[in-house]
Amino acid sequence: MNTMSLSTTPPDIHFSDDCTQAMPFRFRGEGALPCTFLAGNTAAECWHMGTDYAFTTLHVQENDDLVSDTRAAYAELLRQVRSSAHPFLIRIWNYFGDINLGDEDAERYRQFCVGRAQAVDAEFNNPPPAATAIGAARRDGLHVIALSAKRPAIALENPRQTPAWQYPRQYGKVSPGFSRGALLDAGSPHPLLLASGTASIVGHASVHVGDVAEQCRESLRNLRALLDEGEKHGGEPFTFGQCRALRVYIRDPQHLHAVRTVFEASGLPPENIVYLHGEVCRRELAVELEGVFATDMVMKAD
């Protein structure tokens, strides 16, 4: 016989306003990441980590060769993580300046992808972690923040989009090495979904070029599809209302009002959204989002 019980066990990663004993993501003040705060939630994201997860942070000063600098950063990342108690990389954030500088294969984002590919191995790519790469407002080196775990996460892809690691040659000599999202603690009462950088891309093509508001709506449609994939793999529904933290990167700060208008009508908790000045890896795209979604107390069948 199936009976219903209410689980109140907190997830191994949770959020609060207290960063005293947490890994903070700050976008203002001392120690802030290199993305200028525009609007929204003024508090730091405070990630409280249980024993199953850990953060690794690296900051590499550039030496005018982003390929070699990225290769060195990722080689060091793998060295630190693989020998630790949390050897599985599940989510990575990358920030560096002038991400779109250069033409064709000389573009800095494409150089970053080449350097990352030269450093990583088959284990990293089977499949690659969820990730975001954003052009920072200042050029002070490559910032890499990685979340790793004792156990692998479930890598998620968006059925509306070509996996980034399968992009055709037109996007560079090396395809971007990331999955669309990561599902943590699948099968538990409190799964956590980490959405990678999500933009106005259908298949592998950028869409709604020149229309900022529609790019926002397309990005939200992609986010909704990713949450649906999380439910398929984890057994629990994810909704926009369950968003714990959402970052919206805006290429041109003059578009802030148009972007906020769309997102504040989306059903995402406005108090959990932060708007940042950041360049998207494709120069024709105006907006990119990423987020964290967590179920609360959930009725489970025994």
d(CA 223, CA 240): 9
Q: pTM for this one?
A: 0.92
Comparing C-alpha atoms, which of 131, 101, 103 is closest to residue 116? 131
User: Which fold is adopted by the domain 23-301?
Assistant: 60s Ribosomal Protein L30; Chain: A; (3.30.1330)
What SS3 class is residue 99?
Answer: coil
Answer whether 128's CB lies under 8 Å from 182's CB.
no
Catalytic pick from 45, 107, 288, 290?
A: 288
User: Is 288 designated active site?
Assistant: yes
d(CA 252, CA 179): 26
Domain boundary assignment for the chain: 23-301
| C-alpha 45: how far from chain center | 14
Q: Give the Cα-Cα-Cα angle 289, 262, 134 (nearest 5 degrees).
A: 20
pLDDT in tens, the chain (302 residues): 232 333 334 457 888 878 888 888 888 776 788 899 999 998 888 898 889 999 999 999 999 899 999 999 999 999 999 999 999 999 999 999 999 999 999 999 999 999 999 999 999 999 999 999 999 977 889 999 999 999 999 999 999 999 999 999 999 999 999 999 999 988 888 899 999 999 999 999 999 999 999 999 999 999 999 999 999 998 889 999 999 999 999 999 999 999 999 999 999 999 999 999 999 999 999 999 999 999 863 333 33
- What was the pLDDT predicted at 9? 42
